Structure 1
Amino acid sequence: MTALDNRLRQALAPWRTASAWCVAFSGGLDSSVLLHLLAELARREAVPALSAIHVQHGLQPVAAAWPEHCRQFCAALGIPLQVVAVQVAAQASVEQAARQARYAAFAEHLQPDAVLFSAQHRDDQAETLLFRLLRGAGVRGLAAMPEQRPLGRGTLLRPLLDCSRAELQGYAEAHGLSWIEDPSNADTRFSRNFLRQRVMPLLAERWPQASVALARSAAHLSEAEQLLGELARMDLRAAQGEPLFPWLALPSLELSLVTQLSDARQRNLLRHWLAPLSRMPDSDHWAGWRDLREAAGDASPVWKLADGELHRADGRLYWLSADWLAPPVLPDPAVVRVQGASELPGNGQVQIRGELPAGRWHLRYRLGGESLHLPERGRRDLKRLLNEWRVPAFVRPRLPLLFDGDELMAVANLAQSASLQACGVRLHWSPPIGAQGLSW
Structure 2
Amino acid sequence: MSIISLIRTRIIGQRQPLTSVRRSGSTIGWCRLTVEAAARAARYAAFEAVLGPGDLLILGHHADDQVETVVMNMLRGSERPGLQGMPSDRVVGQASLVRPFLKVERARLIAYAESHGLEWIEDPSNARVQHDRNFLRHDVLPTLDQRFLGWRRRIKTALARDESFGQAVDEAVSRDLEVCLDGLGLRVDRLIKHSHARQRMILRRFLGERCPQQPSGRAIDEFLDQLQSSKARGRAELLVGDWTLDSDRGWIFLVSQKDAPLWLPEQWQGERFRRSGRLLLCQHSVRGGLQKPISQYRMSAMHLGLKIQRGHHQDVRELLRAAGIPRWLRERLPVVMEGESVVMVPAVLPWLEYPLVGDIGASSPSDAGWGLSLMMTGPPS
TM over 0.5: yes
Residue 83 to residue 258, structure 1, CA distance change in 2 (3 Å): same
Spell out, residue by residue over 1:74-125, the C-alpha distance to the aligned partner (whole angstroms, 9 max, x if none): x4xxxx5332222221354222222222222222332422321111111111
Specify the code of the residue in structure 2 equivalent to 1:152.
Answer: G
Partner of 2:244: 309
Distance 1:110 1:420 in 2: 61
Count of residue pairs the alignment pairs up: 355
Give the alignment of 1:190-269 within 5 angstroms. Answer: 190-241=131-182, 250=184, 252-269=185-202
Residue 285 to residue 85, structure 1, CA distance change in 2 (3 Å): same
**How much has 1:327 moved relative to structure 2?**
6.2
Specify the code of the residue in structure 2 equivalent to 1:231.
Answer: A
Partner of 2:363: 419
Confirm or deny: 8 A CA contact 2:187 2:250 kept in the other structure.
yes
Partner of 1:395: 329
1:99 aligns with 2:40: yes
Distance 2:105 2:342 in 1: 76
Distance 1:140 1:433 in 2: 32
Specify the code of the residue in structure 2 equivalent to 1:394.
Answer: W
Distance 2:190 2:377 in 1: 26
Q: Choose the corresponding residue for 1:110, options 40, 51, 56.
A: 51
Partner of 2:105: 164
Distance 2:3 2:325 in 1: 60
Say which structure is richer in helix. Answer: 1
1:370 aligns with 2:308: yes
Indicate the percent of aligned positions where both proteins have the same amino acid.
28
Residue 104 to residue 183, structure 1, CA distance change in 2 (3 Å): same
In structure 2, stretches of 5+ residues that fail to align are 28-32
**How much has 1:420 moved relative to structure 2?**
9.3
Spell out, residue by residue over 1:266-307, the C-alpha distance to the aligned partner (whole angstroms, 9 max, x if none): 111111111122311233333432343233354633111123
Residue 257 to residue 81, structure 1, CA distance change in 2 (3 Å): same
SS at match of 1:180: coil
Distance 1:384 1:88 in 2: 46
Q: Which moved more, 1:179-188 or 1:262-271?
A: 179-188
Partner of 2:270: 338
Distance 1:354 1:420 in 2: 16
Residue 410 to residue 423, structure 1, CA distance change in 2 (3 Å): farther
Distance 2:189 2:220 in 1: 19
1:85 aligns with 2:48: no
SS at match of 2:20: strand
Distance 2:283 2:159 in 1: 57
Say which structure is richer in strand. Answer: 2
Residue 337 to residue 412, structure 1, CA distance change in 2 (3 Å): farther
Q: Choose the corresponding residue for 1:277, options 194, 197, 210.
A: 210
Partner of 1:150: 91
Residue 411 to residue 353, structure 1, CA distance change in 2 (3 Å): closer
Distance 2:221 2:175 in 1: 25
Spell out, residue by residue over 1:376-409, the C-alpha distance to the aligned partner (whole angstroms, 9 max, x if none): xx99885675355311233223222224454623
Partner of 2:30: none
Superposed CA RMSD in Å reads: 3.4
The two structures have a TM-score, normalised by structure 1, of: 0.70
Confirm or deny: 8 A CA contact 1:323 1:432 kept in the other structure.
no
The two structures have a TM-score, normalised by structure 2, of: 0.80
Confirm or deny: 8 A CA contact 2:262 2:334 kept in the other structure.
no
Confirm or deny: 8 A CA contact 2:346 2:371 kept in the other structure.
no
Partner of 1:26: none
Confirm or deny: 8 A CA contact 1:372 1:409 kept in the other structure.
no
Residue 420 to residue 136, structure 1, CA distance change in 2 (3 Å): farther
Residue 81 to residue 219, structure 1, CA distance change in 2 (3 Å): farther
Confirm or deny: 8 A CA contact 1:304 1:310 kept in the other structure.
yes
Specify the code of the residue in structure 2 equivalent to 1:176.
Answer: G
Residue 171 to residue 392, structure 1, CA distance change in 2 (3 Å): same
